[in-house]
Amino acid sequence: MKVRIRRALASDAASVKALELAADLSPWSESDYREEAGREGSIFIVAEAEQIIGFILMRLITNSDDFCAAKTPQFHAEILNFAVHTTMRRRGLGSALLLSALAQGQNREVTRYFLEVRSSNLAAIGFYRINGFREIGVRRGFYSHPPEDAVLMECSGDKVLARVPPFGLVFDL
Ligand SMILES: CC(C)(COP(=O)(O)OP(=O)(O)OC[C@H]1O[C@@H](n2cnc3c(N)ncnc32)[C@H](O)[C@@H]1OP(=O)(O)O)[C@@H](O)C(=O)NCCC(=O)NCCS
């Protein structure tokens, strides 16, 4: 099966919403996703075969310490939502999506990447570790429905330099 990794379009919003629901992620509305597809400060990528089978949404954040210190601001980025279709997992697609998002971050001079993940989501925590992230803290009671702590994870931009694939990757799954 040929899979294309590409930038998300507003017209992908319904498919992305369906993947989000199936993966039991923090809920965003379809119109939120439509907006993200056109937002300057977002990196929003989908994996497409005959249909959309994965997505990652990351947002750039300016490092406010740099503003305070009157330095040239550097960007950080936060992964906001991310899923691969249940039947397509453990074939490398999640890693391809993540690395494509990091490659885009690199082009935008992102120096650090952050994310929060439910503390019970051991699959995702294992996945992020394998892909260069490390745990840096816990946010108590961060999630609701059901209430749960968040594990905060971080990855330095330097660490991804040698590993990023070209954007627009097409590969066989
Ligand atoms: C997290 C997620 C995106 C990973 O996608 P994926 O396509 O399965 O990931 P990959 O195939 O690239 O996995 C790479 C490696 O991560 C680790 N990994 C992935 N899923 C794992 C699991 N369920 N248990 C343990 N390790 C896992 C493995 O080391 C895997 O390599 P391997 O298959 O050779 O052993 C996918 O599991 C998913 O959609 N989960 C539900 C939504 C979610 O939790 N999103 C993250 C919210 S922060």
Best probe residue, ligand 1, of 127, 129, 130, 173 (max atoms within 8 Å of C-beta): 127
Closest CA to 125 of 160, 151, 91, 86: 151
pTM: 0.91
* Confidence tier at 62 by pLDDT (50, 70, 90): confident
pLDDT of residue 153: 98
Nearest-CA residue for ligand 1 atom 48 is: 117
Round the average pLDDT of the chain to a whole number and report it.
89
* Confidence tier at 103 by pLDDT (50, 70, 90): confident
* 121 CA closest ligand 1 atom index: 44
Q: In this model, does residue 72 exceed pLDDT 80?
A: no
Pocket of ligand 1 (CB under 6 A): 23, 25, 82-84, 89-95, 115, 117, 121, 123-124, 126-127, 130
Taking the C-alpha atoms of residue 159 and residue 147, their distance in angstroms, rounded to an integer, is 33
Omega before residue 27 within 30° of 0, cis: no
CA distances from 107 to 52, 94, 101 (A): 25, 20, 10
CATH number of the domain at 2-172, please?
3.40.630.30
Greater confidence (64 vs 13) lies with 13
Q: pLDDT > 90: what percent of the chain?
A: 71
Taking the C-alpha atoms of residue 159 and residue 98, their distance in angstroms, rounded to an integer, is 13
pLDDT of residue 95: 92
Residue with structure tokens 């990757």? 169
pLDDT of residue 41: 93
pLDDT of residue 77: 96
pLDDT of residue 172: 62
* 93 CA closest ligand 1 atom index: 7
Taking the C-alpha atoms of residue 61 and residue 163, their distance in angstroms, rounded to an integer, is 23
Greater confidence (106 vs 137) lies with 137
Q: In this model, does residue 57 exceed pLDDT 90?
A: yes
Best probe residue, ligand 1, of 16, 24, 59, 89 (max atoms within 8 Å of C-beta): 89
Closest CA to 90 of 43, 39, 54, 40: 54
Greater confidence (94 vs 171) lies with 94
Residue with structure tokens 């937002």? 39
